[in-house]
Structure 1
Amino acid sequence: MSERNLEQLFIKRSQQKKKTSPLNYKERLFVLSDDKISYYDYDPEKGKKKSLKGSIELEKIKCVETVIPEDNSPPERQFPFQIIYDEGPLYVFSKSDDIRKLWIRKIRHVVRFNKDLMHKYHPRFWEDGIWRCCQQAVKQAMGCRVLETRNGGFANRSERHRKSQKPLPPTPEEEKPSRPLPPQPPPQPQQQGPCPGSTVIAEYSYPPMAPTDLELRKDEEYTILEMSDANWWKARDKYGKEGYIPANYVTEATNGLEKFEWYCKNMNRSQAEHLMRTENKDGGFLVRDSSKAGKYTVSVFSKAGGETVGMCKHYNICTTSQGQFYLAQSHNFSSIPDLINYHQHNSAGLVSRLKHFVSNRADSAPSPFGLGYGVWEIDPTHLTFIKELGCGQFGVVKYGKWQGQHDVAIKMIKEGSMSELDFIEEAKVMMKLRHQNLVQLYGVCTTQRPIYIVTEFLSNGCLLTYLRETLKGPTPIHLLEMCKDVTEGMAYLESQQFIHRDLAARNCLVAANGDIKVTDFGLSRYVLDDEYTSSAGTKFPVRWSPPEVLLYCKFSSKSDIWAYGVLMWEIYTLGKMPYERLNNSEIVDKVSTGLRLYRPQLANERVYSIMSTCWREKAEERPTFEELASNVQDLLYEMQ
């Protein structure tokens, strides 16, 4: 007989009935033993258990988590938790939070080695045929919230071996080993990347922009001397010359893939296909980062049978439980370069042998962190104006050159449109925001009027115009990749406690390679007069605003989440105007009473469910950008 670990009276909700009523909530005696959780009818007068009502084998449990209480729930149902197993969720109500925490902690401990542990869950109840958190109508639908505790209480999802020895099909499912892995310890703070004294290799050439800069020559080694600024490191070249270099132009000498021409860092699927089709070479290939962090994908172009159009195939590089890499399971290698070398000589089931590497690395250098180390105030005489790009809420935006050679965008702020002194102070903070999906602020010109804001230049312009006029026949993956770019940029802003306040397609830009970058973050606070309408003296974009902004002018990262859902809608409608048939006053009334945007034709139910989570009426029930980024990334991985 198994040893009992815990025993407690809980209220259990019926799993069988669609409708919930007081009759569906009954007190049961729960017993946690070494191999199962059992629940019994209970006689309160005699203090004894009666007949067995059900049980769950511990090995079938996939997740145990809290549940957000139902609206207007009685006091005895304020501390619910869920035990998710093969048949779905079992909802249990504890008498106190301490007892609930004890049971969750204990169950997590005993099931931590189970197979197929979940990494996402539904934080609200399944009720009346729908998930109350994300409005999905399929009970088996993947959870909408990432489990924050999966590394602290659950072991990571184990990998499983494929039975077949055939080569992997394009974009196979994530693999799992035959035996469960032990739980990983919580991540410990540690030094990321190189440190002073270490050697780095230049991934790109960098001509000095300021007197204190050091020239970088691609593929040469440099010694890091000082890292007091996270974005500009002091370094020494092999000739003994010292100066500052942009941190995103170099990589550690021990980092394996960056030195290979076939590795294209930060390239997505759509960009890879465009590049390979442009090259139009049979057997053209590249290796890129997968949409799953830490994984890699081999993209191959083939003109099998003499086809002129050709096709692109994508293969995830998988790992065995011993840490070896493979595309075809019978051919395992200790490193990715060895794997690529083998498939350059043997197709081994791939659509083609890897014949010609395709790369854009010569043209894909990232934007440096400013126009040289320490450059903040820019001399306007160093700017050359070439052409007008458009006219925004602050004034004219022009494309130009800095010192005759570096592309920049210049916002010429018309007088009276902005609270200039406040902005200049804020811009010093904004200069320190660095992310590949944010438009880089290079500096300002404040010694004359009008003042200039000088930023990174993106050749494909505004996302809204790009959607309406340039983008032709986009694939579902391409549209979702656009959304992914925005979530990652906004997740970074969120991590820096920075609120955008005006997130929309018009405030995103498109780079030459198709990357989407967020711009104008925080600028709306300094608007003195624009086209936005307010009901309470504060200006804001009505069509992108949640009820708490429309009614109370309450901005937060959660109002940015709402706006992101509208931006996703813009992307999937290829640039339509939200609530196009309503005026601003009607929008305030109808959105505040429950109106939401319809599902775009190009968006499937999974995509629309992500949008819908952004439009929950209560701000605290909306996801974070980190959660959104994870959800979009997971969906993108499944679609590939």
Structure 2
Amino acid sequence: MSESNLEEIFIKRSQQKKKTSPLNYKERLFVLSENKISYFDYDPEKKKKKALKGSVDLEKIKCVETVFPDDSAPSERQFPFQIIYDEGPLYIFAKSDEIRKKWIHRIRHVVRFNKDLMQKYHPCFWEDGVWKCCQQVVKQAMGCRVLETRNGGFKQSHRKSRKPLPPTPEEDKPCRPLPPQPPPQQQGPGPGSTVIAEYPYVPQGPQDLELRKDEEYTILEMGDANWWRAKDKYGREGYIPSNYVTEAMNGLERFEWYCKNMNRSQAEQLLKTENKDGGFLVRDSSKAGKYTVSVFSKVSGETTGICKHYNICTTSQGQFYLAQLHNFTSIPELINYHQHNSAGLVSRLKYIMSNRADSAPSPFGLGYGVWEIDPTHLTFIKELGCGQFGVVKYGKWQGQHDVAIKMIKEGSMSEDDFIEEAKVMMKLRHQNLVQLYGVCTKQKPIYIVTEFLSNGCLLTYLRDTLNNPTAIHLLEMCKDVTEGMAYLESQQFIHRDLAARNCLVAANGTIKVTDFGLSRYVLDDEYTSSAGTKFPVRWSPPEVLLYCKFSSKSDIWAYGVLMWEIYTLGKMPYERLNNSEIVDKVSTGLRLYRPQLANERVYSIMSICWRDKPEDRPTFIELVSNVQDLLYEMQ
């Protein structure tokens, strides 16, 4: 065995495929080689490895860290650690802390040149659909604890080769024993903690509590992740939407210059509209966990100006900077300095630009516990269009809340099945999904009430509204869709009808996916093939066209077609072919051509979505990473 290799018998925890699936713990022989970590079935009697059960490429590893063991864990599972890579955490249990330290130290050393090493991690397990440390319900959610050292303190680089390097002094020195792990700490607000309202909220029902922007509230109960019971300073109690508040004195959210979930195109639009020299804001970068300062500058005497975008960088000691030699321990300190000194920027940061007053997120429904909506509380204002289920109208709920109302024509939907499924769909919550608010089922036709997005259907927006989009703007649209779909994928939810016509555009340009899962309940023949199966032929992969086999990988194929729609500004896929010709030609290798607005890198992302075998296509989590990396390079 090579000196760089390690072998050890560990207990491996199986990865949960569904929230309800049981956890399994099995002994495996783990082998660390030059390029990967492999694990094998093991015969303890013959002391030999058997079949390969899986592997992780070293270049895909983003973090290696310990995990707090469960309170009730048996003695053989007291020393867990995690290897985090593209598909999530791999949980492993060592026989002793010494063996665990040895493996963590060695793996950290060999992956120290990997791109995208993580700065934050989850110190506790993902279990039963939730992170036990911070209670987040998305498996791919960013970590809640900052790594004290950057994956072992190794400086990141962009080394492409995995050829072994000569030994370094750090490698030859014995590893100093680590201090004992502190007990797990509560991450984020908890019952009894104080939060500040980022946005105003008007109560939608008697159980709700009004929120006034910038006022403090005390959390009383958090049984529902989306609606917290809280108390205001006057002693009034009620439920508030959890995405409208932030923990007091914690994070960037308390600063007016921080515009969360704003992309580059939206920042430029806001800065140019305000047209103030030195106007600025701080936003999330396209790279997860990083931030960008966007600044507007005008040359003296001119009416037009330019936008510049500066990525906030970090030193190896964890300090922040925009201009080298000007390092700060926090981002607020950095912003404060550049408000008084340009120090290499195009302008001093003079005026805070914020869209908070106009960008409150959609609440998680029309009040706590609202599911069945009284149709007399709906006011119909205008028709938005006619979909496969019937007419869609814009309206108001109780005269004040914007909603979209789908009026389901009789005979177009399997209503009973949908109503049962809608209870599950209401629990799906993501900034890039159209929020389902509730249903009206006590009369005919039934209504589906959803969040209203003022810019309408993405397909129409591409064809009629979007003028001279930049390459970054088009890719940001794709990024929005991938993130919404990655969330659906994490919830084991298949869309089945992903296309530009089933995405909507918000007032600020954010793209949100809608109608996820509804195609299962269609009773008309709009999508019916000659075999009688319903599916959107032009967005379907060979396994659906030939065998009606839907999966998250058929959604991946459809996403590639949706990307093509975006980069052709709304053209019809395979526009010269009819449905039967598409089935024949796509099944034998035909693929959509590269759009003129798409470069080779963008087209390569489309192409990997259209691989023949479903297992060869990426996951949405991998697509998010690909799109983020490309956006980061372009900026």
> TM-score, normalization: structure 1?
0.75
1:634 maps to: 629
SS of residue in 2 equivalent to 1:443: strand
Equivalent-residue separation in structure 1 for 2:546 and 2:362 (angstroms): 40
Q: CA deviation at 1:321?
A: 2.2
Q: Which runs of 5+ in 1 are unaligned?
A: 9-31, 38-60, 68-75, 85-104, 121-150, 163-177
Q: Residue 238 of structure 1 aligns to which amino acid in structure 2?
A: K
2:164 maps to: none
Equivalent residue for 2:523, pick from 528, 544, 558: 528
Is 1:394 the counterpart of 2:389? The answer is yes
2:114 maps to: 118
Q: Residue 567 of structure 1 aligns to which amino acid in structure 2?
A: L
Q: CA deviation at 1:342?
A: 1.1
Is 1:323 the counterpart of 2:296? The answer is no
* CA separation of 1:586 and 1:307: change in aligned 2, threshold 3 A: same
Equivalent residue for 1:238, pick from 226, 233, 242: 233
* CA separation of 1:82 and 1:247: change in aligned 2, threshold 3 A: closer
1:442 maps to: 437
Q: CA deviation at 1:191?
A: 5.4
Deviation per CA, 1:155-212, whole angstroms, max 9, x where unpaired?
58954699xxxxxxxxxxxxxxx999999999x9985521111111100000100110
Structure 1 residues 607-622: aligned runs within 5 Å: 607-622=602-617
Q: CA deviation at 1:81?
A: 10
SS of residue in 2 equivalent to 1:200: strand
Range that drifts further, 385-394 or 533-542: 533-542
Structure 1 residues 59-458: aligned runs within 5 Å: 63-64=35-36, 110=106, 112-114=108-110, 117-119=113-115, 155=151, 158-159=154-155, 192-458=187-453
Equivalent-residue separation in structure 2 for 1:432 and 1:114 (angstroms): 41
Equivalent-residue separation in structure 1 for 2:106 and 2:193 (angstroms): 44
SS of residue in 2 equivalent to 1:113: helix
Q: CA deviation at 1:267?
A: 0.4
Equivalent-residue separation in structure 2 for 1:180 and 1:606 (angstroms): 39
Range that drifts further, 289-298 or 398-407: 289-298
Equivalent-residue separation in structure 1 for 2:223 and 2:282 (angstroms): 33
1:481 maps to: 476
* CA separation of 1:231 and 1:80: change in aligned 2, threshold 3 A: closer
Equivalent-residue separation in structure 1 for 2:298 and 2:309 (angstroms): 15
Q: Residue 424 of structure 2 aligns to which amino acid in structure 1?
A: V
Q: Residue 478 of structure 2 aligns to which amino acid in structure 1?
A: C
SS of residue in 2 equivalent to 1:453: strand
Deviation per CA, 1:117-136, whole angstroms, max 9, x where unpaired?
3349xxxxxxxxxxxxxxxx
1:92 maps to: none
Equivalent-residue separation in structure 2 for 1:568 and 1:344 (angstroms): 40
Equivalent-residue separation in structure 1 for 2:318 and 2:58 (angstroms): 33
SS of residue in 2 equivalent to 1:255: coil
Q: CA deviation at 1:110?
A: 4.6
> TM-score, normalization: structure 2?
0.75
Q: CA deviation at 1:256?
A: 3.1
Q: CA deviation at 1:575?
A: 0.5
Deviation per CA, 1:88-136, whole angstroms, max 9, x where unpaired?
xxxxxxxxxxxxxxxxx9999756425863349xxxxxxxxxxxxxxxx
Equivalent-residue separation in structure 1 for 2:102 and 2:604 (angstroms): 33
Equivalent-residue separation in structure 1 for 2:155 and 2:283 (angstroms): 22
Q: CA deviation at 1:535?
A: 3.5
- Asked if structure 2 preserves the Cα contact closer than 8 Å seen for 1:115 and 1:158, the reply is no
Equivalent-residue separation in structure 2 for 1:515 and 1:636 (angstroms): 16
Deviation per CA, 1:586-611, whole angstroms, max 9, x where unpaired?
00001111111111111111111111
- Asked if structure 2 preserves the Cα contact closer than 8 Å seen for 1:114 and 1:180, the reply is no
SS of residue in 2 equivalent to 1:306: coil
2:499 maps to: 504
Equivalent-residue separation in structure 1 for 2:152 and 2:559 (angstroms): 30
Q: Residue 455 of structure 1 aligns to which amino acid in structure 2?
A: T
* CA separation of 1:4 and 1:506: change in aligned 2, threshold 3 A: closer
Equivalent-residue separation in structure 2 for 1:155 and 1:439 (angstroms): 37
1:546 maps to: 541
Range that drifts further, 368-377 or 188-197: 188-197
Deviation per CA, 1:420-472, whole angstroms, max 9, x where unpaired?
11111111111111000000000001111111000000000000000000001
* CA separation of 1:456 and 1:189: change in aligned 2, threshold 3 A: farther
2:578 maps to: 583
Q: Residue 435 of structure 1 aligns to which amino acid in structure 2?
A: H
* CA separation of 1:83 and 1:510: change in aligned 2, threshold 3 A: closer
Q: CA deviation at 1:5?
A: 6.5
SS of residue in 2 equivalent to 1:222: strand
Equivalent-residue separation in structure 1 for 2:245 and 2:300 (angstroms): 42
Equivalent-residue separation in structure 1 for 2:275 and 2:169 (angstroms): 43
Q: Residue 264 of structure 2 aligns to which amino acid in structure 1?
A: R
Equivalent-residue separation in structure 2 for 1:537 and 1:282 (angstroms): 61
Q: CA deviation at 1:577?
A: 0.5
1:592 maps to: 587
- Asked if structure 2 preserves the Cα contact closer than 8 Å seen for 1:408 and 1:455, the reply is yes
- Asked if structure 2 preserves the Cα contact closer than 8 Å seen for 1:459 and 1:512, the reply is yes
Q: Residue 117 of structure 1 aligns to which amino acid in structure 2?
A: F
Equivalent-residue separation in structure 2 for 1:467 and 1:190 (angstroms): 47
- Asked if structure 2 preserves the Cα contact closer than 8 Å seen for 1:616 and 1:622, the reply is yes
2:17 maps to: none
* CA separation of 1:462 and 1:189: change in aligned 2, threshold 3 A: farther
* CA separation of 1:315 and 1:384: change in aligned 2, threshold 3 A: same
Q: Which runs of 5+ in 2 are unaligned?
A: 8-30, 40-50, 60-100, 117-146, 159-167
Q: Residue 308 of structure 1 aligns to which amino acid in structure 2?
A: T
- Asked if structure 2 preserves the Cα contact closer than 8 Å seen for 1:195 and 1:227, the reply is yes
SS of residue in 2 equivalent to 1:371: coil
* CA separation of 1:108 and 1:235: change in aligned 2, threshold 3 A: closer
Range that drifts further, 300-309 or 269-278: 300-309
Rg larger for: 1
Q: Residue 552 of structure 1 aligns to which amino acid in structure 2?
A: Y
* CA separation of 1:190 and 1:583: change in aligned 2, threshold 3 A: farther
Deviation per CA, 1:222-270, whole angstroms, max 9, x where unpaired?
1111111111010111111110000100011132321211111110000
Q: Sequence identity, in percent?
A: 81
- Asked if structure 2 preserves the Cα contact closer than 8 Å seen for 1:461 and 1:509, the reply is yes
- How big is the alpha-carbon RMSD for the aligned residues of Structure 1 and Structure 2? 3.5
Deviation per CA, 1:477-516, whole angstroms, max 9, x where unpaired?
1111101100110011111111100000000000000000
* CA separation of 1:567 and 1:3: change in aligned 2, threshold 3 A: closer
* CA separation of 1:397 and 1:266: change in aligned 2, threshold 3 A: same
